[in-house]
Structure 1
Amino acid sequence: MSHTIRVGDLVTGEAVVLDLRVAQLASRAVAYAIDVAVQFGLLVILFLIAPVDIDNALQDALALTLLIAVMIGFPTAMETATRGRSLGKLAMGLRVVRDDGGAIRFRHALVRSLTGFVVDFWVLGLGGAIALFVSLFSPQGKRVGDYLAGTVVIHTRVPRQEVELAVMPPQLAEWASGLDLSQLPEELVLAARQYLSRYHELNEQARWDLGSRLSDDVGAAIRSPRVEYTHPHPYLSAVLAERRRRAAR
């Protein structure tokens, strides 16, 4: 039996609706401007080091190849490798996630990059006019590429009071200090924070079912599964509190 917490607009694979802040147009515009500056910088460097003693047809083919590689290949590879972040999004605290709140994959990043280049911004996009128009009329600030890929851009910087809900249980402190948290996905961290923040709004069965699903995913990521008799709440609290402690240190 699945349970749903109506606290936001994004539904995770654990059937938890995340209360995440959808990125607004201004922050997305700044992030995109940073990305465009980086891409044009790469293009200039590549054109400067490209060979010039070749015929015109080969020059045109090389120029087209470099353009596609930088404007489509580079953002696709970047968002795939970082699970939804470009340099601009990293600077602005943004991330691309699926509509269900999960991490994007290569196909999502490719669709966004292709549509962004052809429709939203450059070939047909009138310098971003189409992306701007579509985003203004989208409740989640989506552009055409987001609609086709099934993605949305969110803020990953959550309010401080929400982060502090993760308190280290004394009995788990020593265990948590030895965890490898380097492979813990950001979307799982966000889902765990939401679970802890809404814990007292759930009935006992929902607390256990939702917490168990999240704990199983977190345990697989950190390679330290929850002991069967341990309640999900202290387990998730210990993991997030240890993660916060290391970040602060």
Structure 2
Amino acid sequence: MPSAVTLVEIGQDEILTGEAVALDVQPAGFFLRLAGAAIDMIVTMATAFVVLLALGLTGVLSAGAGLGTIVSILLAVVLLVVAPTTIETATRGRSLGKLIVGARIVRADGGAAGFRQALIRALVGVLEIWFTFGAVAALTGMFTPRAQRLGDLMAGTFSQRTRTGRLAAFEPQVPAPLVEWARIADVAPLPAPVARRLARFVRQAEQLQPHARRMLATQLAAEAAASVSPVPPADPELFVRAVAALRFQRELTAVQARDARAAALLPAPATRRG
């Protein structure tokens, strides 16, 4: 049984809706994130060097020990907190390093990150990146599924790949033996955890070992049966595939109907008169 659970979790980094619709959001790997962070750190240190050099040439730093300390602290705050927060907020999770490696910061649900997430990441980054030379961020990223650093965990974000192929289209079909049943079947909304497990099973069933596949299909069929009427006397896997297909098709129909209603509310383009 433990092996079945491990195999089912292969796609844990995918973001799926409750109706088996896969969002095209793919996390950036650890080494990709490391390269982007290194670029950002080099840019930050180069900027600090140029600014300090300019201040030194103008005599600001030598004007007094107190003034030099204040300027240094303000420069650190601007470069380590204000600048990263402003850049990530304005670019919706991008920075120079992330732009080069093809990544951006998004919320855990795949949505665009905002000011709050950028500020939390920047504040925590002062500790885990700059004070520890990136050691804490690297250790955290190595042991989290989406290579999230501590700031990501606290802000509820992760790094998404932006230059990647689209996820394969997923449109489950009702198995042939259950086509007639599907025409009269009543499938109520499934609990979100059950719907996600059904979707993942249908997408990855071919990758499972036969014994684990049968056991998992039987378990999922028993959980889904509570939301289906009538329950057909069919093989558990066929039943699971049929339920997943019906929920997908009905959700797709609802989305298409919503889009059609929205389009009908748009004003018709004005016709030109000769």
TM-score (norm: length of structure 2): 0.57
Out of 143, 148, 161, the residue aligned to residue 155 of structure 1 is 161
SS in 2 for 1:152: strand
Instruction: Answer yes or no: is 1:42 the counterpart of 2:47.
Output: yes
Q: Distance in 1 between matches of 2:256 and 2:79?
A: 42
Q: Distance in 2 between matches of 1:208 and 1:99?
A: 27
Q: 1:7 to 1:128 in 2, by over 3 A?
A: closer
Q: How does 1:1-249 map to 2 (within 5 A)?
A: 9-10=14-15, 17-50=22-55, 51-118=60-127, 120-123=128-131, 126-159=132-165, 203-210=248-255, 226-228=262-264
Report the number of matched residues: 178
2:24–2:167 CA contact under 8 A, matched in 1: no
How far is the alpha carbon of 1:7 from its aligned partner?
8.7
Q: 1:20 to 1:160 in 2, by over 3 A?
A: closer
1:6-61 deviations in Å (ceiling 9; x for gaps)? 9953367x995525221111111111111111111111121122223421011101
Structure 2 unaligned residues grouped into runs of 5+? 1-10, 170-202, 204-244, 267-274
**Two-structure CA RMSD over aligned residues (Å):** 3.3
Q: Percent identity?
A: 35
Q: 1:108 to 1:227 in 2, by over 3 A?
A: same
2:14–2:25 CA contact under 8 A, matched in 1: yes
Structure with higher RCO (Cα < 8 A, 6+ apart)? 2
- Larger radius of gyration, structure 1 or 2? 2
Q: Distance in 1 between matches of 2:145 and 2:167?
A: 26
SS in 2 for 1:141: coil
1:127-167 deviations in Å (ceiling 9; x for gaps)? 1111111111101111100000000101012316869xxxx
Q: Distance in 1 between matches of 2:107 and 2:51?
A: 33
2:13–2:145 CA contact under 8 A, matched in 1: no
1:165-203 deviations in Å (ceiling 9; x for gaps)? xxxxxxxxxxxxxxxxxxxxxxxxxxxxxxxxx9xx663
Q: Distance in 2 between matches of 1:76 and 1:130?
A: 20
Structure 1 unaligned residues grouped into runs of 5+? 1-5, 164-197, 217-224, 231-249
Q: Distance in 2 between matches of 1:48 and 1:148?
A: 36
Q: Distance in 1 between matches of 2:122 and 2:21?
A: 29
Q: 1:16 to 1:117 in 2, by over 3 A?
A: farther
